A and B are shown apart, each in its own frame.
Chain A
Amino acid sequence: MSHLFSNRRDSIKTLAALGAAAGSPFAFAQKPITVGVIYVGPRDDYGYNQAQAEAAAMLKKMPGVKVVEEENVPETAAVQRTMTGMIAQDGAQLVFPTSFGYFDPHMLAVAAKFPDARFAHCGGMWTEGKHPKNTASFFGYIDECQYLNGVIAGHMSKSKKIGFIAAKPIPQVLRNINAFTMGARSVDPKITCSVIFTGDWSMPVKEAEATNSLADQGVDVFTMHVDGPKVIVETAAKRGKMVCGYHASQAKLAPQAYLTGAEWNWLTAYTAFVDAVRSGKPHPNFVRGGLKEGFVKPSAYGPMVTDAAKKQADGVKAQMMAGSFDIFKGPLKDNKGATIIPAGKAFKQTDLELEKMNYLVEGVNGSV
């Protein structure tokens, strides 16, 4: 069995070498490359998976890049089979397993079997010495866009109550809730943000219930961190409330209610990994970036957003692009009154401490 695979691998290598030899007369002719992309949900979910699929679609347009995709792959042995299939059956040199749960143990198990293939995982924490060199993790500081969402929400909210519908109280989600709340409270410190955790990444019924329940409580601007924001956007719009999107643009779903949104721009990360394979450079193992690096972007403002809101959000965005804006800086209290960050201390976005976040900041109604 293992020799069967190594034979395949050798033939792949030979093919790649032939390609390289044939291309050598042309300076920097790029080797053809096959890339596998794996999604945990449907590619057209107006959310997490669509953001990844949009980048994969752009990757397809690059010359010499072949993309093989598979959607709705659960975080079980199935994803191990898919990764193995992409490498062994389709000849992929680089695989993007894009769901958080694919990292450990699935990607690590397959990476050990195929030391010559490269793996770039979205969301995980690649750690030097702990994880193999042919694996990597990439992620974006989307809390920057959630902060901007918050600034807009702070200007647009009339009830001074904003709402956040979230899947699970894990660090990546808490960071978004906190950034959104702080963005809004930078406009008006009286604003409070109510949080509802639905318990899982894709719970359309609970998401609709949560939206309705918050709307009943007077919340008039919503945002979210779930895999597919579609239901929340549509429900909020139906209730006549406003909404800030997440993952991808949901503007099409509710043009009259959509203020702005926090979008991924995964092409930046994808390209970095593809270029490394093609030029034979070592695999970039730990890749992170925010607005400045082009990993995330805000959605275009909706027609109802006021000029004052735009002006303040654009100002903060410019500071973020210049690298002179820290979201998490002291003095910062959590919503139980304890001091989280003392005055004078500020965390840079790259600080790994922020990837362990386990609190909700002052102004958030809800508990972890």
Chain B
Amino acid sequence: MRNILLPVGAIGVSLLLFGLIVSFSGVSPVEVWVLLFKGAFGDWYSWQNTLQRAAPLMLTALCVAIPARAGLTVIGGEGALVLGGLACAALAQAVPLPTNLAGTVMVCLAGALAGGLWVALAGWLRQYRGINETISSLLLAYVAIGLFKHLVEGPLRDPASLNKPSTPALDEGLLISTIAGSDVHWGLVIGVVVCLVAGLWLRLTPSGFAVRVVGGNPRAAQLVGLPATRLVVLACALGGAAAGLAGAIEVAAVHTSANAALIAGYGYAGILVSFMARHHPVAVIPVAILFGGFGAAGSLLQRRLGLPDASVLLLQGIAFVLILASEALRDTDWKAWFAKLARVPSAEPAPQGEQT
């Protein structure tokens, strides 16, 4: 209950604050709230807008969430994502693939493999070389982006892509289509399924439990004979695989080729999503949808009210800070607090011993 009430309350307060701030610039807060809701969840069109924006965030959030359960703070999902997209396009370019579902699965797996190896490298460096994984994963993301640009603008470039260096486009048969009757591609379903599977894995399987034990106390885990090092690298690899898969899906469902437009910050947005979801893979789903909603609502705010793009970033920032801050209230004993509050003005002793 508390898990839901605290973040919902925090979002409510941030909406109030945001309304106050926009009212300073002469915009009616009520109009802004109505547009925010309309833009994100108001009709079927808005829902599609929200869901399509949410799709890549679920997978990039897992790149933070899964290693976090093993006690690591990995923030280099962007690197895994771009390399995943690159591997997807490169495989399709290098090998003639069956132009059907099997081919699509293969390019997606290539993306997951590339992303998994990349983040596993950060985990390996931590376990064997004592390098802080937060720093190394972040710096590896810059390396990955450099590598991506070098290959896309160099050896893998389609010579016909003049002013927008890209790899050759994927064959029509390899592309991920939209879900019938909507504009939302199947990547959303993949994202939801992977989040659920990751949640179940951590909760129900021995290896998932072992990862959580390592995250809780690595020394204790080693004492009970768990292969802590291997589990840490595994958690990194799985997280990286999720982000790599996100990159492959972006290429196969949206861009059709790997190019610099892939570097759009989904990996970094995933960090926020994961922290807001308290690194819980299942909670990542609603939080990613909320972030998608922010994006969709921001689009409508700009178009209808002429507010700058930064306005919705402001809301996002307030919400993020408040949700994290609300964690401090998690252990508050609300019953005692309310009782105290009730006692002070009435100055009467609380009735004792009447409960049966």
Contacts and interface: CB of A to CB of B under 8 A. Distances in A.
Contact of B49 (A81, A90, A103): A81
A294 interface: no
Given A71-B308, A88-B45, A76 B261 contact: yes
A76 B264 contact: yes
Contacts of B296: 81
Interface stretch (A164-172, A253-261, A276-284): A164-172
Given A76-B264, A170-B163, A355-B162, A42 B303 contact: no
Contact of B261 (A43, A72, A101, A123): A101
Contact of A100 (B163, B250, B256): B163
Contact of B181 (A1, A36, A68, A172): A1
Interface string B290-302: 0000011001101
A301 to B, nearest CB: 31
Contacts of A74: 261, 264-265
Contacts of B250: 76-77
Nearest to B253: A77
B44 A1 contact: yes
Given A76-B250, A77-B53, A68 B260 contact: no
Interface of A: 1-2, 4, 36, 42-43, 68-78, 80-82, 84-86, 88-90, 100-101, 103-105, 113, 123, 125, 168, 170-172, 199-200, 355-356
7 contacts: A74-B264, A76-B262, A77-B53, A81-B52, A85-B299, A85-B300, A105-B255
Contacts of A100: 163-164
A123 B164 CA distance: 11
Contacts of B260: 101, 200
B306 interface: yes
Given A76-B264, A171-B163, 10 more contacts: A1-B44, A1-B48, A71-B302, A74-B265, A82-B299, A85-B49, A88-B45, A105-B255, A170-B163, A171-B162
B183 A84 contact: yes
B52 A77 contact: yes
Interface residues of B, number: 36
A355 B163 CA distance: 9
Contacts of A84: 45, 49, 183
Among B48, B250, B302, residue most surrounded by chain A Cβ atoms (within 10 Å): B302
Contacts of B164: 100-101, 103-104, 170
Contacts of A200: 149, 260
Given A4-B44, A101-B261, A72 B163 contact: no
Contacts of B165: 168, 170
Report the 5 A-B pairs with minimum CB-CB distance, sorted nearest first. A75-B261, A72-B309, A68-B303, A74-B264, A1-B181
B60 interface: no
A69 B303 contact: yes
Contacts, number: 99
Contacts of A77: 52-53, 250, 254
Given A100-B163, A105-B254, A90 B303 contact: yes
B267 to A, nearest CB: 13
A42 B308 CA distance: 8
Nearest to B308: A71
B264 A69 contact: no
B16 to A, nearest CB: 25
Contact of B303 (A70, A104, A172, A356): A70
A356 B299 CA distance: 35
B174 to A, nearest CB: 14
B49 A172 contact: no
A68 B52 CA distance: 22
A101 B162 CA distance: 11
Among A75, A88, A172, residue most surrounded by chain B Cβ atoms (within 10 Å): A75
Nearest to B257: A105
A278 B309 CA distance: 30
B286 to A, nearest CB: 20
B259 A101 contact: yes
Contacts of B254: 76-77, 80, 105
Nearest to B261: A75
A312 B303 CA distance: 46
Nearest to A42: B309
Nearest to A356: B162
Contacts of B306: 69
B163 A172 contact: yes
B356 interface: no
B171 interface: no
A70 B164 CA distance: 22
Given A72-B309, A76-B250, A168-B165, A81 B53 contact: yes
Contact of B295 (A78, A101, A172): A78
A80 B255 CA distance: 11
B302 A70 contact: yes
A78 B53 contact: yes
Nearest to B42: A89
Among B53, B165, B299, B306, residue most surrounded by chain A Cβ atoms (within 10 Å): B299
Contacts of A75: 261, 264
A81 B52 CA distance: 8
Contacts of B264: 74-76, 78
B302 A199 contact: no
